[in-house]
Amino acid sequence: MDEKKEACPFCEIVGGKIQTRRVYEDDHVLVILDINPASPGHLLLMPKKHFRTLTELPIALTTYLATICKQLSWAVLRTLQAQGTTIILAQGEAAGQHVPHLLFHIIPRKEQDGLMPINIPQQPFTAQDLNDVKAMIIHGIKHIIEGMPKGENA
């Protein structure tokens, strides 16, 4: 954990060792402008503590990040006259997570902004495949949600 933390550029950003364009921070989160933005106002929202994935994140902090994410989206819609926002959280290398620190991308969008829309491809699976995965997910959700600590604090 400490090794990862030392090697994490976003922990260095949080600590002020790497200069960035900070737009918001409080005790728990930091929001910066992406250095290579997809559009003007492309924000990165991160917890100040090092967490790699949502799985590691305490529930109270997860709730807080989601709330800040909602407010940032609303802020760019109003202040930049954006027509929408694309919000991305990649978890794991297979999903395109290239940095070890959990972060949300909040990307202001406009019609004809030249960015690709989010197209979720449709793939052919059999009814049996879908029934099998449904059973696995229902079992997993029940196990995980019922096993969650109640009223956990960050």
Interacting residue ranges for Zn ion, rule: CB under 5 A = 8, 10-11, 50, 101
Residue 132 CB, shortest distance to Zn ion, in Å, is 37
> Which pair of tokens denotes residue 36?
């290579």
Residue nearest to Zn ion (CB): 8
Task: Kindly tell me which of 42 and 101 has the beta carbon lying closer to Zn ion.
Answer: 101
H helix and E strand count, the chain: 4, 5
Residue 69 CB, shortest distance to Zn ion, in Å, is 18
Between the alpha carbon of residue 6 and those of residues 11, 14, 15, 93, the distances in Å are 8, 12, 11, 20
Q: Please state the φ and ψ torsions of residue 30, each to the nearest 5 degrees.
A: -130, 140
H runs (alpha helix) in the chain: 2-7, 9-14, 59-79, 127-147
Residue 94 CB, shortest distance to Zn ion, in Å, is 20
| Structure letter (DSSP) for residue 153 | -
| Torsion region of 151: left, alpha or beta (phi above 0 gives left; psi -120 to 50 gives alpha) | left
Residue 8 CB, shortest distance to Zn ion, in Å, is 3
Task: Kindly tell me which of 10 and 104 has the beta carbon lying closer to Zn ion.
Answer: 10
Task: Kindly tell me which of 15 and 140 has the beta carbon lying closer to Zn ion.
Answer: 15
Task: Kindly tell me which of 18 and 141 has the beta carbon lying closer to Zn ion.
Answer: 18
